[in-house]
Amino acid sequence: MNWLAIAAIYRFEMNRFFRTLMQSFLSPVLSTSLYFIVFGAAIGSRIREVEGISYGAFIVPGLVMLSVMTQALSNASFGIYFPKFIGTIYELLSAPVSFLEIVIGYVGAAATKALFIGAVILATASFFVDLSIAHPAAMVAFLLLTCFSFALLGFIIGIWAGNFEQLQIVPLLVVTPLVFLGGAFYSTSMLPPVWQKITLFNPVVYLVSGFRWSFFGMADVPVGWSLLAIALFTAACLTVIWWIFRTGWRIRS
């Protein structure tokens, strides 16, 4: 393992993040506050409680998940797409590094950024609502796994994308709808029975549900299923990455 190379990639990627630290920090704080004002105040005054939890607190895990997923995805996809776009990928390809090391560097950095933003959102949320975390270790584990697996997916998208439109299209057309329909802002038990069945095909439901369980000890689907779902998702991403590595797809001509 070329650890120095992994460290170099990781540091270089984090530098990009630190250059825009204020933006990276401010935008989640602002958007979280807006969510609380809009959802918490407007809807919360009508819904008040979901399954015994104040609505404001109820949406926190979903809110964190939403941001963490989109951030991990966009940071990782942009991180590897940008060198392809401006041509600096030549250096990665000509360096004594394996594909695995490149993946660890980029995915690690993207997951770190997403984790940071998740933490900022949690901290912001704690100003608005009382938060208690029932299973802290599980909470951290879910958060880490989500950051990591969505960064992997983002990396795949970044390798696949041939232009900026393609870079945006998967997050926009697939991930965002899945996240919004994945019970981030409601409990799936609030849906009509048919829709309750349909949402079970949405992988994000399992992630949000498991994450919410780690806060409040209650879930839409059994927690074991959540773990299984995230394990399967991670495995699927790793398989694709392994295949890219074997074939050099879209990297080496």
Please identify which residue in 45, 52, 94, 192 interacts with another protein, judged by CB under 8 A: 94
Please name the amino acid found at residue 177.
P
The two most distant CA atoms of the chain are separated, in Å, by 60
Q: Is 15 in the site for another protein (CB under 8 A)?
A: yes
Q: Is 88 in the site for another protein (CB under 8 A)?
A: yes
Least gap, CB of 7 to another protein (angstroms): 6
CA distances from 189 to 6, 54, 225 (A): 44, 16, 16
CA distances from 236 to 137, 150, 230 (A): 25, 11, 10
- Residue among 88 and 163 whose Cβ is closer to another protein: 88
* Binding footprint of another protein, residue count (CB under 8 A): 28
Q: Is 246 in the site for another protein (CB under 8 A)?
A: no
Please identify which residue in 16, 54, 128, 225 interacts with another protein, judged by CB under 8 A: 16
Please identify which residue in 18, 45, 46, 86 interacts with another protein, judged by CB under 8 A: 86
Least gap, CB of 145 to another protein (angstroms): 28
Least gap, CB of 104 to another protein (angstroms): 13
Separation of alpha carbons 71 and 241, rounded Å = 20
**3-state SS record for 66-89:** HHHHHHHHHHHHHHHHHHHHHCCH
